[in-house]
Structure formats: C-alpha cells, structure tokens
Structure 1
Amino acid sequence: MGQDESKAGTTTELENDIIVRLAANTKYTPEQIRSWHSAFLRDCPNGKLTSRQFVEVYKRFYPEAEAEKYSYQVFRTFDADHSGYIDFTEFLIAVNVNANGDVRDKLNLAFDIYDINANGQIDKKEMTKVITAIYDLLGEEHRKGENSPENRVKIIMEKLDINDDKHISRDEFVEGCLKDDVLRQLLAPNV
C-alpha cells in the first residue's frame, strides 16, 4: 500500500512518504531503500511476491529439502496484512529485522512464525506443525523416540510454558530463548 497505486494494483514507483517511513523504521537510508525496491521489482515486476514465488526462493537455498511447509509459515508471517502476497514494505521490514534486528526482534519474529493462528500464544499443535516443517526443511531423517517432533515439542513446552497453561506466550518464548542457548538454536537457529 502507499506505492504508486493501491496494494491491489501494480507498483513501479515508491512514494516519498513511504521512503521516509521506511527510513524511520529500518536501518536503511533512502538510497538503500530505493536500491532494495529496484531489486524487488526486478524479481516481482507487479510489486507482489506470491507464496509460490517465496517457496521457490526457499527451494533455491534448500534444494534437497522439503521447503514448502516451513516457507509457507515464514511467508504467512511476512504477509502482515494477510493479503496473500508480500508487498515491498512488508518485504523490507522483514529483511531489516533479519539483517539488522537485535536478538529480541528476531525472537519476536520467530514467535510469529510459530503462532500460526496469530492469537498471541503458541500451543502444542502449532509448535508440532512448525517443528515438523523445520525437520522437513533440514532433511532430518531421525524422527523416532527422543528425536520425534512430538517429543521435542513436549520438552520445549515443559521448558517455556512457565505458568503451565498449555500455551507459550510471547514473553515466555522470548525470555526462555534468551536464557537457554540450546533452545534458542532449536527454535530460532539464525538468532
């Protein structure tokens, strides 16, 4: 939204007020924002990055893996307005958090990936779905016994669900990952 036409339309130019807003909310200069925008339009000439395109990008990074499930969860998180595609503003905000965000910013983004229904809590079913998708992405073949997604989720829930309400809140997730490096590497490996 706010580019040369509404979000539903084709976008080719970035309005100055959008550049100013992005510069204020990211660590990028107006020149860098214009450069990112040009690159984005090269790959997405209509200004829309679809779920299918996003999955294809993940497949390039993980050619031997099943990238669809996990990349869909990431796509859903980046598509902040739930329009079914990522526009340039959503794209740059996500890139900024990944490249320039502090540990808390990145853990909050990771929380959003796990919080599939966006209700502010992660339940066992959501956690299992994402852990299974991560196993698929990484090509994890040993999924029995201790290493099963269900067992991993049980251990994670025991560690993070401090108030024992069968849900992990954003605070429980972030604070728990900050205190436990092993858990952080499992749940948010790039943080």
Structure 2
Amino acid sequence: MGNAKSGAVSKELLQDLKLSTKFSEAEITQWYDNFTKQCPSGRITPTEFEAIYARFFPESDAKSYAQHVFRSFDTNEDGTLDFREYVVALHMTSSGKITLKLEWAFSLFDVDGNGYLSKSEVCEICAAIFKLIPKEEVPDLPSDENTAEKRADKLWGFFHKDDRERVAEGEFIDGIMANADAMRLIQYEPSKAK
C-alpha cells in the first residue's frame, strides 16, 4: 500500500509535529500544502534557502547568515531541510518562549556543533548578522557596534570570558537574558518603514 495519498501529510508525522511543536493540525496541514507547492521534491536545498532569505533582506547580503541558519535547522545533517525540520524550525524561531529562541540561537552560533561557543564562532556569526544591516543604517549604529568585530567583542564581553575560554548553552542563555543589548546583538531586525 505505502503512501496512498502522497499529497497529504502522513498521520504519523502530523501527530509527531503536533506533540513536538504544539501547532494545530490545521496549521501543520496548511504549511505542508504550501511547502509541497514551493518544494515539490519535499526538500529545501541550501541554494533555495539562500534565495528565500535574500527576499527577506533585499538590501543586504544575507547569504552567509542564511547558510548558518540552514545549518542550524538541518538537524539530520543531510544537506537539505525536509518538512519536519522546517516546521520544527518555524516553531523554535516563532514560539513566544524566549528560552526556546535562545536554544536555537545557541545552535546557530555553535558553528562546529561541539556544544560550546568560542570567540571565533561568535565573531563568525556576528559578521554574518552584520551583513544583514543595510549600508545606509550602519552610520546610525552606536560606535561600539558599528563593525562586526566590535559587535562580536561587545557580545563576548557579556559572557565574562577571556578570548580562549568557551561558553556553554546555559551560560549563553543566561548571558543573553541578563542584558537587553546582548539580545539585540544576536539578531538583526529590519527597521520599520520610515
């Protein structure tokens, strides 16, 4: 028999996603329909993901940031995102729970996936985030945040570590939650229309 209705999300996947994300069956089904229309292969490639990010940040260089976000979402490390990874990523990044978002942010910053952040990883992600900022907005940034390097140094300072030490996930979450500036430095939100 197999999958008699290939156009519909399987009952097993639907139940799994309802439990792991708390999204409704209707939401998951709608996202599945949209996902299969946009990605008939059932998978998003890194190039397709970069194109999606480029549409969100048309005046910026979103490629390196998109690559890091893709890596953090590709939990089975097969080089593509399937529907399950896509929905779990949606949940992690859009859920109202700040700790869930920070757990995802930690995985984004943990470039080598070893469970710790190094200063060089913070520098790498801050550089990618900085590329999202349109050039015309850079002069308006505070003087201690107007380069990727300064932003990385400022962020690293919130963890009270020297350049050779590492930051564990709990330390990362605590350090970010303890300081509004740190929260702002780990993301870029386009300014509202002027």
Q: For 1:115-170, what per-residue CA distance to the aligned partner results, in whole angstroms no more than 9, with x for missing partners?
A: 00011111111111111111111135569x84332333223222214598611111
Q: Normalising by the residue count of structure 1, what TM-score does the alignment of the two structures yield?
A: 0.86
Question: Which of 38, 47, 54 pairs up with 1:52?
Answer: 47
Tell whether 2:68 aligns with 1:73: yes
What are structure 1's unaligned runs of at least 5 residues? 5-10
Tell me the SS of whatever aligns to 1:160. coil
State the 1:43 CA deviation: 0.4
Counterpart in the other structure of 1:114: 109
Structure 1 Cα separation of the partners of residues 68 and 78 of structure 2: 15
Asked if the contact 1:70–1:130 (Cα under 8 Å) also holds between the matched residues in 2, the reply is: yes
Q: Is the 1:161–1:172 contact (alpha carbons within 8 Å) kept by the matching residues of 2?
A: no
Aligned partner letter, 2:49: F
Specify the code of the residue in structure 1 equivalent to 2:168.
S
CA shift for structure 1 position 12: 4.2
Give the aligned partner of residue 37 of structure 1. Answer: 32
Report the 3-state secondary structure (helix = DSSP H, G, I; strand = E; otherwise coil) of the residue aligned with 2:61. Answer: coil
Shift in alpha-carbon separation, 1:80–1:55, aligned structure 2, 3 A = same
* Residue range with higher mean Cα deviation, 21-30 or 48-57: 21-30
Any stretches of 5+ residues in structure 2 without a counterpart? Answer: 190-194
Partner letter of residue 166 of structure 1? E
CA–CA separation in structure 2 for the residues paired with 1:59 and 1:149: 20
- For residues 159 and 67 of structure 1, the distance between their equivalents in structure 2, rounded to whole angstroms, comes to 26
Kindly indicate whether residue 12 of structure 2 is the aligned counterpart of residue 14 of structure 1.
no
**Does structure 2 retain, via aligned residues, the 8 Å contact 1:12–1:45?**
no
Count of residues in correspondence between the two structures: 181
Match of 2:18 in 1: 23
Aligned residue type for 1:109: W
Specify the alignment match of 2:57 in structure 1. Answer: 62
| Letter of the structure 2 residue corresponding to residue 44 of structure 1 | C
1:4-35 Cα deviation digits (max 9, x unpaired): 5xxxxxx7442211111111111212222111
CA contact (8 A) 1:80 1:90 kept: yes
Task: Tell me if structure 2 keeps the 8 A contact 1:104–1:174.
Answer: yes
Q: Per the alignment, do residues 83 and 161 of structure 1 end up closer, same or farther by CA in structure 2, a change over 3 Å counting?
A: farther
Give yes or no for contact 2:49–2:66 (8 Å, CA) kept in 1. Answer: yes
Task: Kindly report the root-mean-square deviation, in angstroms, between the aligned alpha carbons of the 2 structures.
Answer: 2.3
CA-to-aligned-CA distance 1:83-130 (integer Å, 9 cap, x gap): 100000000001112222400000110111110001111111111111
TM-score for both structures, normalised by structure 2: 0.84
* Aligned equivalents of 2:100, 2:53: Cα separation in 1: 22
Residue 64 (structure 1) shift = 1.3
**Which amino acid in 1 is paired with 2:63?**
E
